[in-house]
Amino acid sequence: MRQNISELNHEDLIACHERAKQRYQAFQKRDLKLNMARGKPSPEQLDLVADLLALPVNKDYLAADGTDCRNYAPVEGLQGLPEARALFSQMLGVKPDRIVIAGNSSLALMHDIIVYSLLKGTCDSSTPWSKEQSIKFICPVPGYDRHFFICQEFDIEMISVPLGAAGPDMDHVETLVAKDPGIIGMWCVPKYSNPTGTIYSDEVIGRLAAMNTAAPDFRLIWDNAYAVHHLTSERAEIANIVEACARHGHTNRPLVFSSTSKITLAGAGLAMFASSPDNVKWLLARMDKRTIGPDKINQLRHVRFLRDEAGIVALMDRHRQIVAPKFAKVIEVFKEALDGYGVATWQQPKGGYFISLDVLPGCARRVVDLAKKAGIVLTPAGATYPYGRDPQDRNIRIAPTYPSLSEINQAAEGVALCILLATTEALLAHMGKPSSLNQEMA
Ligand code: PMP
């Protein structure tokens, strides 16, 4: 029977620390090179779509409407091939005419839309965002570091709001947006959030759609990157944000994004935008100056490879068979190594690409640092918070998709050791002093 480490007397704590140190040093000697830092598909996952790159075959470059996809797009082609937009219509929850397919990176689309809003204003803005006195975004935390980088890059102040089991703390969000016209946007990863795996409840989505915002051009950046990335056979569904916002008279509020980065190829997929007719028109008017048209050959090969919604579902099932055992392995190793010690908690996500791990306050940076010195690269501590600052220094994002199952096993074992070592170290340092660490552990 394991004892909560915070309840050990000084002598037992020293012994526990020594044991952790010896095991850590032995682990270091294995001279491993492991990486659980970024959510990348593994080579086996990329191999699932090997045939995609052979398409289109037989020199058949013609889209359904006769467009030669090798050439510049006709004017209306800026929005993407109609059959490609139809393919992702169900996943995005809107009709094809409200979808834009552009480039390979949804993050680039989010970035550009924010830049366009800063320079030109949205279709509901009286002035460009950059001309406002102060502009702010709500950031549910923990969240996705690259969202936060975009805000930081353009001096958009970030306001952290805790992300709970059913989504962001809505009492908090509603109060903030109602009174502050400077709050012009909010990041949301509504299904299988990065990194917590949170699935926004219908109630939360309803409140996000209905809430009154002091800014008339407030936008929800609805980043549904993991819409079809299930880890169980449950295949969670969430409420349709576009319909919910329209019901409440906030038709232009949601800007929906997704991509095939983790469906087909992370470096050569398709990125999508979906929204109201006014927002689509507004975006196309900006894009029109930027490009003559998207890579239609890539769109065509995706249509021919994936075919329809059933094709996407079948492919995602094959991804799940590869990825789910890796998540299960991390959780199995953590349970075996850490259960009962009171040193860490972690999420068991039902989808997405990450496991969110919470260690005791003040320990996350040390765990990541120890892991690095033992040959395991993790996402930097703090990355899941705006400005890279986790106020409690406790959250660590684990990305288990890329390494092999045996590498995952070793990496999770190593991380668990680092947690034990960092915690005993911190407790010894605090022993005798009243500290938030000791209280937290009680
Ligand atoms: N959004 C989220 C929430 C992500 O986790 C990622 C990838 N890590 C992206 C966007 C990036 O998507 P894309 O490849 O389409 O730019």
Q: Could you tell me which residues come within 8 angstroms of residue 192 by beta carbon, excluding any fewer than 6 positions away?
A: 198, 199, 226, 229, 230, 236, 349, 350, 351, 352, 353
Tell whether ligand 1 has an atom less than 6 A from the beta carbon of residue 223: yes
What the block records as the tokens of 136 is 């702010």
Residue located via tokens 């975006």: 283
CA of 227 to the centre of ligand 1 (A): 11
Compute the distance between CA of residue 408 and CA of residue 105 in angstroms, rounded to an integer: 27
Helix, strand counts (H, E) of the chain: 15, 13
Q: Is the dihedral of CA 259, 261, 265, 266 positive or negative?
A: positive
CA of 145 to the centre of ligand 1 (A): 10
Residue of the nearest CA to atom 1 in ligand 1? Answer: 225
pLDDT of the residue at 75: 82
- What's the burial of 22, exposed, middle or buried (CB within 10 Å: 0-12/13-18/19+)? exposed
CA of 219 to the centre of ligand 1 (A): 19
pLDDT of the residue at 441: 41
**Ligand 1 atom closest to Cα of residue 353:** 5
Task: Encode the chain (442 residues) as per-residue pLDDT tens digits.
Answer: 789 999 999 999 999 999 999 999 999 999 999 999 999 999 999 999 999 999 999 999 999 999 999 999 888 899 999 999 999 999 999 999 999 999 999 999 999 999 999 999 999 999 999 999 999 999 999 999 999 999 999 999 999 999 999 999 999 999 999 999 999 999 999 999 999 999 999 999 999 999 999 999 999 999 999 999 999 999 999 999 999 999 999 999 999 999 999 999 999 999 999 999 999 999 999 999 999 999 999 999 999 999 999 999 999 999 999 999 999 999 999 999 999 999 999 999 999 999 999 999 999 999 999 999 999 999 999 999 999 999 999 999 999 999 999 999 999 999 999 999 999 999 999 885 544 444 444 3
Q: Could you tell me which residues come within 8 angstroms of residue 269 by beta carbon, excluding any fewer than 6 positions away?
A: 104, 259, 260, 261, 263, 298, 302
**Ligand 1 atom closest to Cα of residue 352:** 5
| Cis ω for the linkage preceding 195 (within 30 of 0) | yes
Q: How far is CA 47 from CA 43, 53, 315, in A?
A: 6, 11, 12
Pocket test for ligand 1, best of 163, 193, 194 (most atoms within 8 A of CB): 194
Tell whether ligand 1 has an atom less than 6 A from the beta carbon of residue 132: no
> For residue 363, which amino acid is it?
C
What the block records as the tokens of 315 is 């492919």
CA of 379 to the centre of ligand 1 (A): 15
Alpha-helical segments (H) within 211-308 = 241-247, 277-290, 296-306
Other C-beta atoms closer than 10 Å to the C-beta of 166 total 15
Tell me how many degrees the CA angle 148-437-38 measures, rounded to the nearest 5.
30
CA of 202 to the centre of ligand 1 (A): 23
Tell whether ligand 1 has an atom less than 6 A from the beta carbon of residue 189: yes
pLDDT of the residue at 433: 52
Tell whether ligand 1 has an atom less than 6 A from the beta carbon of residue 39: yes
Pocket test for ligand 1, best of 88, 104, 107, 109 (most atoms within 8 A of CB): 107
CA of 348 to the centre of ligand 1 (A): 20
pLDDT of the residue at 431: 81
Q: What are phi and psi of 344, to 5 degrees?
A: -160, 155
The 10 Å CB-count burial string (b at 16+, else e) for 246-266 is beeebbbbbbbbbbbbbbbbb
CA of 397 to the centre of ligand 1 (A): 15
The 10 Å CB-count burial string (b at 16+, else e) for 144-155 is bbebbbbbeebe
**Ligand 1 atom closest to Cα of residue 193:** 3
Residue of the nearest CA to atom 4 in ligand 1? Answer: 225
Tell whether ligand 1 has an atom less than 6 A from the beta carbon of residue 37: no
Q: What is the CA radius of gyration of the chain?
A: 23
Q: How far is CA 363 from CA 15, 52, 358, 423, 441, in A?
A: 19, 44, 9, 7, 12
pLDDT of the residue at 438: 44
CA of 69 to the centre of ligand 1 (A): 26
Q: CA torsion angle for 139, 141, 144, 148 (degrees, to 10)?
A: 40
What the block records as the tokens of 92 is 């995005």
What the block records as the tokens of 393 is 């220094």
Name the β-bridge partners of 258: 272
Nearest-CA neighbor of 293 among 67, 87, 94? 67
Pocket test for ligand 1, best of 261, 264, 354 (most atoms within 8 A of CB): 261
pLDDT of the residue at 434: 43
Whole-prediction pTM value? 0.96
Q: Could you tell me which residues come within 8 angstroms of residue 55 by beta carbon, excluding any fewer than 6 positions away?
A: 300, 301, 304, 305
What the block records as the tokens of 2 is 């394991």
Tell whether ligand 1 has an atom less than 6 A from the beta carbon of residue 352: no
